[in-house]
Amino acid sequence: MAPTTDKTSAFVPLLILLLFPRSYSSEESIDSDNFIPRSDVDLLEFPLNLEFLEAEFFLYGAFGYGLDKVAPKLTQGGPTPTGVRWAHLDPFTRDVIKQFAYQEGNTLDLSAASFAKVADSAFGSPLHPPFDPGASGLHFLLASYHVPYVGLTGYVRTIPKLRGLLPEGYPSIAIYEHSRTKVPPYGITVEEFTNRFSALRDRLGHAGLKDEGLVVPPSLGGEGRSMGNVLAGDADSVAYDRTPEEILRIVYGGGNEHVPDGFYPKGANGRIARSHLQAS
């Protein structure tokens, strides 16, 4: 059963109260409605926009509808995502994706074509047929692997209070047992897909190693002793961080925070994202 609108709507204000850092100067501008430093609002607004991206993707995949129906007061209007649809999921995967959707809470392009472009970029050439997250449960979980981790690295970077947070690993956990499974019709293993997606995010971010696939050399695994890598993190198993600029380069799909495309064809919302569009 879906969470009620009232409970969902109450979650974001609670999150804001719990997570805002207090390390900024009192001279900064203050939000007149909430008496919160404008810089704090901007920092949390940015990753929350990514949470909307995740929530819409999971909700439509599992139910065929999104936040406008599940939490209309939370979304406060806005256009329906482009190209998003109900996915052909087996009962087990649908149950898992529903749980993802309940946890997550500008026009978004969540079409199959958008994910196909990501997959083609990851492999360096077009896949035939084009990758479609709605084709099966395994395809959808692979697409899920690409989005939430980017949002988590944004939280770790922009909210200093969360620097000790463990990596967000639920999509990885869901597909880890299938790491040796070949994804039809490509004959490419799940492990290879995750390694390619991770390498793509590193390449687009332009900031070195901040991403790893499901199976890695022991030197890159947890505490330098594990090949299993469902919770990608640094040498201390702490989540990697990314700046807003790095994240925009990835979700736009072109490695440039000033040029919108990918999941945000018109650019991401919020003061930080818009400032980069104005500078382009």
Which pLDDT tens digit goes with each residue over 135-151? 998 998 898 888 776 76
Q: What length is written for the chain? A: 280
Asked if the structure places residue 163 within a domain, the reply is yes
Asked if the structure places residue 122 within a domain, the reply is yes
52 in Cβ contact with 32 (< 8 Å): no
Asked if the structure places residue 89 within a domain, the reply is yes
Which pLDDT tens digit goes with each residue over 9-23? 333 333 333 333 333
Distance CA 108, CA 56 (A): 9
Distance CA 20, CA 11 (A): 14
Asked if the structure places residue 247 within a domain, the reply is yes
Residue written as tokens 């139910």? 63
Asked if the structure places residue 135 within a domain, the reply is yes
- Could you list the residue range(s) of the whole structural domain that residue 123 is in? 37-276
CA atoms in the 13 A half-sphere facing the CB of 78: 21
pLDDT tens, per residue, the chain with 280 residues: 333 333 333 333 333 333 333 333 333 444 445 455 666 667 767 777 777 787 787 778 778 877 777 777 665 555 667 766 666 767 776 676 555 554 433 577 888 999 999 999 999 999 999 999 989 989 988 988 887 767 667 666 666 544 444 445 556 777 888 999 999 999 999 999 999 999 999 999 999 998 888 888 887 777 777 787 777 777 777 778 888 899 999 999 999 999 999 998 888 888 888 899 876 5
Asked if the structure places residue 30 within a domain, the reply is no
The answer to whether the predicted template modeling score (pTM) of the entire model surpasses 0.85 is no
Asked if the structure places residue 13 within a domain, the reply is no
How many domains, in total, are found in the chain?
1
Asked if the structure places residue 1 within a domain, the reply is no
